[in-house]
């Protein structure tokens, strides 16, 4: 049998698996993005829910989020190789090569999510998804992440955009309640990531990433986690003031924010890994619980609970 003229696949390519490609989509973040979009949709339209529009929104949001995550992996592949936390990811570990294929897939998924949402839903939904991708890939990853301690704050808009996309998909505009919800998600991002950065400050320092308000002042950064957690309480109140929530859901949202403050408040006096870990571990379920409460808001309205506070 004649030898094949094609070169033998490289060792990294042979080791690549389906799990590696799934990991590139950051499934946890993608699920959270879709959860926020669901919250925006139901907050804007708690009564008449169009399952086709909602399903299209979630599929487009998942595709765009996965694409943005792939581009993040591609742009950060050099940084990931320097950090204990990320050096085993598919690109720095060279399980996927050449890495350019990841950039191509990312652009394709992101474009598909934006394009289908604009076509099947409306241009405002597509534009909202585009803004989310722009802030995550360009503003956060490519521009601010390596340069400024404001990276998490400004880049946090990427997490708010799905809420706006949900509102646009449901009613064709941004309702006041959803704008307030997007503000809450924006304010949630700093205490979530800064708590993680306190745990991994040495790893981030070795990589040269300014992921804390002040990399050389851990005490100040700990206090900023507390301040940013406190801001979640008035953000919850703001959603209630728009008249979008029933009073039980309003109480739950305020209580969830208050618990975040209680868990992180010791960081004001002393920054320790157990306290920082407690804040980070709570931050993910906090946002999920907020969306669950918003989902419960719709049937409560139908049961006759009054909206507004």
Note the pLDDT tens digit of each residue in 117-138.
999 999 999 999 999 999 999 9
pLDDT confidence of 2, banded at 50, 70, 90?
Answer: very low
Model pLDDT for residues 235-256, shown as the tens digit of each residue: 999 999 999 999 999 999 999 9
Handedness of CA 300, 306, 308, 309 (dihedral sign): negative
pLDDT of residue 48: 79
DSSP string computed for 201-224: HHHHHHHT---SS-TT-HHHHHHH
Q: Where are the domains of the chain?
A: 16-171, 175-309
List CB contacts of 159: < 8 A, sequence separation 6 or more. Answer: 32, 33, 36, 132, 185, 186, 188, 189
Give the 3-state secondary structure of residue 307. Answer: strand
pLDDT confidence of 305, banded at 50, 70, 90?
Answer: confident
pLDDT of residue 98: 80
pLDDT of residue 14: 46
CB 209 within 8 A of CB 191: no
CATH of 16-171, one of 3.40.50.620, 1.10.3720.10, 1.10.357.140, 1.25.40.80: 1.10.357.140
Average confidence score pLDDT of the chain: 93
Q: What span, in angstroms and rounded, lies between the C-alpha atoms of 58 and 50?
A: 12
CB half-sphere exposure, 178, CA atoms < 13 A: 28
pLDDT confidence of 15, banded at 50, 70, 90?
Answer: low
Query: How many H-runs (helices) and E-runs (strands) does the chain carry?
Result: 15, 0
CB half-sphere exposure, 4, CA atoms < 13 A: 4
| pLDDT (average), residues 189-197 | 97
Can you name the residues that pair with 246 across neighbouring β-strands? Answer: 307
């Amino acid at each position: 049998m004649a030898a094949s003229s094609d070169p033998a696949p490289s060792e990294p390519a042979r080791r690549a698996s389906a799990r590696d490609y799934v990991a590139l989509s950051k499934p946890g973040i993608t699920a959270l993005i879709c959860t926020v979009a669901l919250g925006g949709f139901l907050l804007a339209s708690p009564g008449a829910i169009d399952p086709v529009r909602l399903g299209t929104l979630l599929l487009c949001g998942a595709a765009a989020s996965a694409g943005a995550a792939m581009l993040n992996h591609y742009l950060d592949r050099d940084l990931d190789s320097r950090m204990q936390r990320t050096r085993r990811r598919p690109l720095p570990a060279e399980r996927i090569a050449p890495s350019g294929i990841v950039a191509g897939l990312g652009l394709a998924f992101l474009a598909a999510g934006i394009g289908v949402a604009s076509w099947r839903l409306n241009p405002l939904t597509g534009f909202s998804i585009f803004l989310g991708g722009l802030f995550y890939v360009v503003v956060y990853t490519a521009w601010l992440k390596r340069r400024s301690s404001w990276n998490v704050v400004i880049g946090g808009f990427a997490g708010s955009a799905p809420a706006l996309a949900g509102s646009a998909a449901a009613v064709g505009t941004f309702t006041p309640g959803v704008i307030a919800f997007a503000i809450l998600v924006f304010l949630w991002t700093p205490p979530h990531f800064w708590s993680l950065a306190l745990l991994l400050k040495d790893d981030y320092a070795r990589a040269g990433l300014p992921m804390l308000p002040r990399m050389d002042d851990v005490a100040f950064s700990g206090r900023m986690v507390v301040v940013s957690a406190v801001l979640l309480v008035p953000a919850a109140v703001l959603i209630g003031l728009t008249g979008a929530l029933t009073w039980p859901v309003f109480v739950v949202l305020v209580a969830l924010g208050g618990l975040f403050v209680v868990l992180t408040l010791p960081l004001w006096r002393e920054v320790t890994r157990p306290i920082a870990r407690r804040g980070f571990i709570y931050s993910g379920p906090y946002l999920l619980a907020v969306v669950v409460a918003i989902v419960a808001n719709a049937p409560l309205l139908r049961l006759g609970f009054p909206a507004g506070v």
